[in-house]
Chains A and B, each alone.
Chain A
Amino acid sequence: MFIALALIAGSLVIICISINGQLAAKVGLIQAGIINYFIGLISSIVYIYIVSRFTLSNIFMLESDIPFYYFLGGIIGSLIMVLNNLVINKLSAVYVTILVFIGQLTTGIIIDYLKYRMISSGKIIGGILIIIGLYFYIKGDNKTTKTLPTS
């Protein structure tokens, strides 16, 4: 079930990147980002209203025991948007896809070590297999100007 959700999240990324690319071509990257986050904020409020009828108490009860870095995700997201755009214009899609994934994998393994207090050899072996598969996939893809990295 969670596996399916994570796969769907990946497909959504592709749809969002395609649409966002067209928007950015018209209004510029940063303004497209602002539009996306603004619409995202409105949609989250609508979504909260639909699923929980505004029980925002949690937000206003932000206890001080939440470390500040838990809140960095949203801000990092806006940096990623700019960084993606920068590297895609300078490197081929092959490099971008593989290097971004290597960065994700290494950091992911460290995060999982901190989370579960163990390094799983399956994750390292699996990660290497995915990089090999990624290489084959890109080799089979004859267009090289594709944009891939995730949001």
Chain B
Amino acid sequence: MYKLLATFDGVLIALMVAFNGLLASHIGNEQSLMVIHFLGLIGTIILLLGTRTKIQSLSGLPVYLFIAGALGIFNVLFNNICFSALGATLTLSLNLIGQLISSMLIDHFGLLGLVVNKINQTKLIGVAIMIIGIISMIII
């Protein structure tokens, strides 16, 4: 059941990237960013009301915890640009590899306060096979 949900999660991610990309190609990259975040905000407010979650105080939280939202707009922007140039499959696959390489580096050096987890041969083989996969998506 949860396995099905996880797969459905992936389906939703692909649909989101596609819809956002299509919207951006119609109303422009900049404007679409604003519309997407506005609708996302409405969506989360509905979820908040629907689940009757209690609101917590924000006082005393370190400022850096709020940066993710600002960085997130570039994630959406880059995906929108890439969707029209590369299509859905390649954009999503490159996304995944970007995630894995950066988490591999973060773990290797123990950045962001995480435990050091060195790069090993098996991980590198995995990344190499994925890069071959990307190359075959581009050239075949």
Q: Which residues on B sit within 8 Å (CB–CB) of A122?
A: 136-140
Q: Which residues on B sit within 8 Å (CB–CB) of A22?
A: 65
**Contact indicator A87/B5 (Cβ below 8 Å):** yes
Q: Which residues on A sit within 8 Å (CB–CB) of B8?
A: 83, 103
B103-140 vs A, Cβ < 8 Å mask (1 yes, 0 no): 10010000010110100111111111111111111111
Closest to B131 in A: A133
Closest to B139 in A: A122
Compute how far the CA of A69 lies from the CA of B14 in the bound complex, rounded to whole angstroms. Answer: 14
A1-17 vs B, Cβ < 8 Å mask (1 yes, 0 no): 01101111111111110
Partner of B13 from A7, A39, A96, A100 at Cβ < 8 Å: A100
Could you say which of B36, B89, B128 has the most chain A C-beta atoms within 10 Å of its C-beta? B89
Compute how far the CA of A46 lies from the CA of B124 in the bound complex, rounded to whole angstroms. Answer: 40
Give the distance to chain A from B30, nearest Cβ to Cβ, in Å: 4
Partner of B95 from A6, A69, A128 at Cβ < 8 Å: A6
B32-66 vs A, Cβ < 8 Å mask (1 yes, 0 no): 01111111111111111001010110100100111
Give the distance to chain A from B87, nearest Cβ to Cβ, in Å: 4
Q: Which residues on B sit within 8 Å (CB–CB) of A91?
A: 2-3, 6
Give the distance to chain A from B44, nearest Cβ to Cβ, in Å: 4
Compute how far the CA of A64 lies from the CA of B44 in the bound complex, rounded to whole angstroms. Answer: 26
A63-104 vs B, Cβ < 8 Å mask (1 yes, 0 no): 000100111111111111111101100110001100111111
Sample (19) of A-B pairs whose CB atoms are under 8 Å apart: A5-B82, A7-B101, A9-B78, A13-B75, A14-B99, A15-B112, A18-B106, A20-B68, A44-B33, A48-B31, A70-B19, A73-B23, A103-B7, A105-B89, A107-B10, A107-B15, A111-B18, A133-B128, A150-B95
Residues of B within 8 A of A (CB): 2-3, 5-20, 22-23, 26-28, 30-31, 33-48, 51, 53, 55-56, 58, 61, 64-79, 81-82, 85-103, 106, 112, 114-115, 117, 120-140
